[in-house]
Amino acid sequence: MSQPIKIISTDFDGTIFAEFENPPIAKTFVALISRLQAQGVRWVINTGRDMSGLMEALARSQISIQPNALVLVEREIYFHQDSRYVGHAEWNRDCTVAHEELFARIRVDLPRLTQWVEARYEATVYEDPYSPFCLIARRLRDAEAIHEYLDDYCRTVPGLHVVRNDVYARLAHSGYDKGKGLAEIARRWNVSREHILAAGDHLNDLPMLRQEYAQHLVTNANAIPAVRDIVRRQNGFVSALACGHGVANGLEFYLKKLSLQAKI
């Protein structure tokens, strides 16, 4: 019998990967994903990391499994083919063009935004290949205040939004996020949301922790309160366990629940 869950989309850092634990990705999670992949279930890592950062962390984790697809930097899509990851050419091209056009429109405002932040907070503002405005705040409360200011600015620029995780943030195009990336992968694989599970722990995971994209939602004990609240409000599963242990706990819960429903 085929599994009722056909796609599992997980965030990486804090959701399945715990930097200072040994192993950093829980063996219970790895064993469960390995078994499900053998039954045809596909696993997606949906992360804010870029390719090199993710591959390095996976190599250090020494896990025996590989994701079937990736959403990188919350927007680019890659599929595992012949022992390597191949970009979704059309999606990634359109994503790049959309971001370039948007960033060209806001570049004139960036000195003003930078000056506002640096005059008030101990924060590092910088540009990277994915955004002309990225920041690392010294304190969480500073990150929250800066986020609020940037949200106000984004409301004046159609298509612009803030992507934030803890004290890290960047400006990006609102047409591309973890939820829309997951939806595109599901479209390519012809899987409806009723057969998709998503798991995350922080603000940048909220776009995919929506039943518009995934019927089954999971978060773990270390998730921020906003994520736990949103998952609960959608009747999702909030584990008492942390990181990969919590995601495995949620997966097992849904597999048992859906199996029992299928027998009724």
At residue 235, does pLDDT exceed 50?
yes
Query: For the ranges 9-18, 161-170, 178-187, 254-263, which has the lowest average pLDDT?
Result: 254-263
At residue 67, does pLDDT exceed 60?
yes
- The model carries a pTM of 0.95
| DSSP sequence for 116-156 | HHHHHS-EEEEEETTEEEEEEESSHHHHHHHHHHHHHHHTT
Identify the pLDDT of residue 171. Answer: 98
Identify the pLDDT of residue 126. Answer: 98
The structural domains of the chain, ordered by start, are 7-74+177-263 (3.40.50.1000), 91-173 (3.30.980)
Give the chain's mean pLDDT: 96
**Percent of the residues in the chain that have a pLDDT greater than 70, as a whole number:** 97
At residue 192, does pLDDT exceed 80?
yes
The Cβ-side half-sphere exposure at 135, using a 13 Å CA radius, reads 30
Query: What's the pLDDT tens digit per position in 111-163?
Result: 999 999 999 999 999 999 999 999 999 999 999 999 999 999 999 999 999 99
Identify the pLDDT of residue 3. Answer: 80
Identify the pLDDT of residue 117. Answer: 98
At residue 262, does pLDDT exceed 60?
no
Identify the pLDDT of residue 263. Answer: 55
CB-based contacts of 102: which residues, under 8 Å, 6+ apart?
157, 159, 160, 173
Identify the pLDDT of residue 51. Answer: 98
CA-to-CA dists, residue 247 to 33, 53, 197, 238, angstroms = 10, 22, 10, 9
